[in-house]
Amino acid sequence: MTDAVGLTIDEIEQLIHRLERAGISRFEYEDANVSLKLILAAGDVPTDNPDATIAAMADVIRTSVAGVFHARHPISGGIAADALSPVRAGQIVGYVQVGPVVRPVTAPRDGVIGRALIQDGTLVGAGQELFDLH
């Protein structure tokens, strides 16, 4: 049996396991006919309540794209934010470089940046946690 995406339940389960092994917690696919969104959350987060899942994910700053993480802009060298720095929602806290393209990583809400969860220059997956946010 296949669903609207054209995948069987077993194929979706395999996709989820691959995302978990890769440390990817969010996956979205959309075309003209289909939209699929997977949010993989910690075991204690109620998956039947999307608002609770999203709120639980907001305690960290994540990247939305895969690439190489940089705490400083790879061209200008300007630092985005340091640990224990207060940040506003939408403020740039780092950069992910995908080939020649540099994408900013922004804070999802106001708060204070906590510890870095990855090293500068690390290859990251989309949805990977970069910083704690308090």
pLDDT number for residue 2: 47
- CA 125/CA 92 separation, integer angstroms: 18
CB 122 within 8 A of CB 74: no
Q: Is the pLDDT at 56 greater than 70, yes or no?
A: no
Return the pLDDT at 122. Answer: 92
Give residue-wise pLDDT tens across range 65-97. Answer: 899 999 888 888 777 777 778 889 989 999 999
On the question of pLDDT at 63 being above 50, the answer is: yes
What are the structural domains, with CATH classification, of the chain? 9-57 (no CATH), 60-133 (2.40.50.100)
Per-residue pLDDT of 26-39, as tens digits, reads 777 777 777 777 77
Kind of pairing between the strands at 111-116 and 92-98: unpaired
In this prediction, residue 41 has a pLDDT band, given cuts at 50, 70 and 90, of low
Residue 87 has a CB neighbour count (10 Å cut-off) of 21
> Is the pLDDT confidence value at 132 over 50?
yes
For the chain, the average pLDDT equals 78
Residue bearing the bigger pLDDT, 42 or 85: 85
Main-chain phi, psi angles of 89, to 5 degrees: -55, 130
Calculate what percentage of the chain has a pLDDT beyond 90: 19
User: What pLDDT sits at residue 84?
Assistant: 79
- What is the rounded distance in angstroms from the CA atom of residue 7 to the CA atom of residue 9? 7
